Amino acid sequence: MATNDLRRRLLIAIGAAALPVAAHALDSAEEVEVCMESEVETQCVKGLFLFECPDSSEIEEINRDDIGQTQTPAPGRGELINGECCYEVTVTGTCALGCGCAHGRPLLREAHPLLAGLSHASWIDEALPQPALADLTTAERGRLARFWASVGAHEHSSIAAFHRASLELLAHAAPEKLIAATQRAALDEARHARHAFTLASRFAGATIGPAALPLGGAMELANDLPALAARVVSEGCVEETMSLLAAERMLAGAQDPAVRLVLTKLVRDERRHVELAWKTVKWAIAAGGRPVSEAVAVAFAEARAPVPHDAEPLAPRLAAWGAVADEQLVAVAGHGLAVVIRPVASQLTA
């Protein structure tokens, strides 16, 4: 969908379709950094350990470089606990899309997507067609697996974001239509995650799925209507709108039938989600008046265009399987901020 068409749809969604729209220039200082963070955890290994544990470098289970995740144990011998050797392990997730462009509407913590690590949990959709693999090298299959695993992690996080949004709408007496649509969006995101992890698994030749989502305090609800509206602006009107434009770019270059099927459904759903976000903010302004309108204006003013990160290189030919280089995706997203998000926001807060 062209940016002009998306802008028109969003203006219709907020009831401002007949109003003139001016283009906005990008601020050259705008930037966003979005990466999966490393975490330290304790991992224990079962075995016939009677007196002392071997050096961490000798334990294969805790020295892994899987698709999308690297485990690095602290040097030295582990601690013997009830016959198991336990080690501190740093788990680092790769950001296969770079650190510029997210997908879906991931749950945010301090403006960064909160993502689960990867595991061998099965999120496989057996009905999804098999992507064409014959023309791919082993390295290319691995790169595609990491790309789609990252997409899956973002979509998986989006499930939580929409569930939290549903609770916030309930807590602020939102209309039933908004609540029901938000609940349906969470189910859409579950399907998007399942499809992405299915593609990742088939490219990898091994099951790839999400580990536990480290929610912590991330599900804390907005305590008033201005805070709710500002969060929807950040996660929905800004991030998800840019994500939609990036997904449309992926679809435009995709040639593999299985990948096109996944992306066609994803883009269709994300268009609804984006319109829902803008409608939700419009309702909140109408319900809460000036305090909400001011919070929304601040949230839009703080929106930043993504910038490419030094991501793992992507060969141009992999676009046929949906994997588009990060610099191309963030360029599309940044353009969308300038010609779609800011102009529509100016009408919404006028």
pLDDT digits (tens, 9 = 90+) for 282-302: 999 999 999 999 999 999 999
Let me know: does 304 contact 30? Beta carbons within 8 Å.
Answer: yes
Backbone angles phi, psi at 72, to 5 degrees: -130, 110
Q: The pTM is what?
A: 0.77
Residue 16 and residue 62 in contact, taking contact as beta carbons nearer than 8 Å: no
**Which domains does the chain carry?**
3-36+98-348 (1.20.1260), 37-93 (no CATH)
The pLDDT value recorded for residue 13 is 77
The DSSP output letter for 35 is -
CA–CA separation, 8 and 15 (whole Å):
10
- Alpha carbons 154 and 159: distance in angstroms, whole number: 9
Phi, psi of 138 (to 5 degrees): -60, -40
Residue 69 bridge partners (DSSP): 66, 93
Q: For residue range 8-22, what is the model confidence (pLDDT) as tens digits? A: 778 777 777 544 443
Average pLDDT, the chain: 84
- The answer, yes or no, to whether residue 91 has pLDDT greater than 70, is no
Which of 35, 64, 249 has its CA nearest to residue 153? 35
Q: Which of 146, 142, 97 is nearest to 325 (CA)?
A: 97
